[in-house]
Amino acid sequence: MDLFKKCEEFTSAKEARELGIYPYFHALESRQDVEVMMEGKRRIMLGSNNYLGLTVHPEVIEAAIKAVEQYGSGCSGSRFLNGTLKLHLELEQELADFLGKEAVMTFSTGFQSNLGIISAIASRHDYILCDRENHASIYDGCRLSYAKMLRYRHNDMEDLERLLNTVPDNAGKLIVTDGVFSMGGDICNLPEIVRLAKKYGARVMVDDAHGLGVLGNGGRGTADFFGLTDEVDIIMGTFSKSLASLGGFMAADSYVVDFVKHTSRPFIFCASIPPSNCAAALAALRILKREPELPQRLINLAKYVRNGLTERGISIRESNYGITPIIPLYTYTPIATLTKSKMLYDAGVYVNPVLPPATPPNECLLRTSYMASHTESLLDEAMDIIKETFEKHDKMMAAEGHLPQEDSFTEQTE
């Protein structure tokens, strides 16, 4: 069979384009901010992970420019060899101090961080216990490690313990969880995970990509939020969200970091973070340390939006603590999701559609996310547009004889 046969048979993107509801690869023509110019029109941005709004902060921009002027545009090599800058070491030290861990090492992307950490720590005869709603990079890191992966039901601690009971006592065990889950916005049950890890002799790794700068004292993340920093063995995070740049990191005891530095293929064989990205992340971290009220502002705005959407009759997926800046709106079916996404885009609000397999069938979502730099007036404008758009869509569907949660595409995706 021709290797490219699967490419010829891939038609879902083409079909969405033909229907005029293709939602991906919209081109920005301005900075990543609360309002953007996208394809010639102003859009209120409710689809960014720029949680603290620091991508447009003058100090972050200035730091990136100065780094290019001093170090050039790139490192042209891996950290292992010629690609380590003084900037990398400064960022790692300040992050370690901020998070309360002995050491930090940086990776070129967040996705690569999970690949590099998990594949180095776990190996063929080990077991990884993975929340079903963990990020795709965690799943790929598990595959690359060749360890046996056991998936437990989302945030279901009874199911996690059931699986731990099946693991041989003499096997290495790693429990991996998102701190804040990227699609639903809920927070892991870290106290119970830590308790079970101690009971069964497992190590704990938290992917805090969406927790850093959001939860905890001054934005120190999920482990700090629960007062469990010392009980979490590995904290992973990214720079592409709250820290307004690109890259990722691992925070752990120094001997663990040293091991990963010398054994992780995704780390050893990849070029290091460019100077501009490293300097931008460091500047953003320093702003966060100087302005620890930013995460609380973000949480307050998230509560404001949850209340505002509920008052407007919009069905949202509630998270377990109701404080994170990720607020999914239920749209149920794929066609309804794509259609509402396109209608909102045309009306001036950008959101992210989430379809199977990222959700169960008939539980499709529009993922909205918020920044500390949003204003209440701008959010009110966006929420009014969402309300009007949803009502308009439902009237259209009713006129065509469809129920609000019904479409002909559903059966194809189940």
The single residue of 135, 173, 241, 342 carrying the catalytic annotation is: 241
Q: Across the strands, what pairs with 176?
A: 130, 205
Could you say which of 108, 182, 242, 264 is catalytic?
A: 182
**pLDDT at residue 410, rounded to an integer:** 37
Q: What phi-psi label fits residue 244: left (phi over 0), alpha (psi between -120 and 50 degrees) or beta?
A: left
pLDDT at position 403 = 57
Token pair 């830590």: residue:
194
Alpha carbon distance 387, 101 (integer Å): 45
Question: 178 - beta bridge partners?
Answer: 207
Q: What is the pLDDT of residue 404?
A: 53
Q: Which residues of the chain have pLDDT under 70?
A: 402-414
Nearest-CA neighbor of 380 among 44, 38, 33?
A: 44
Domains and CATH numbers, the chain: 5-51+293-413 (3.90.1150.10), 57-290 (3.40.640.10)
**pTM of the model as a whole:** 0.94
Assign 178 to helix, strand or coil: strand
Token code pair at residue 331: 């749209």
Would you say 53 and 242 are in contact if contact means Cβ atoms under 8 Å apart? no
8 Å CB contact between 42 and 51? no
| 210 among known catalytic residues | yes
The residue from 210, 340, 342, 374 that is catalytic is: 210
Q: What is the pLDDT of residues 227-284, one digit of tens each?
A: 999 999 999 999 999 999 999 999 999 999 999 999 999 999 999 999 999 999 999 9
Q: What is the pLDDT of residues 317-340, one digit of tens each?
A: 888 999 999 999 999 999 999 999
The tokens of 336 are what?
Answer: 């309804």
**pLDDT at residue number 232:** 98
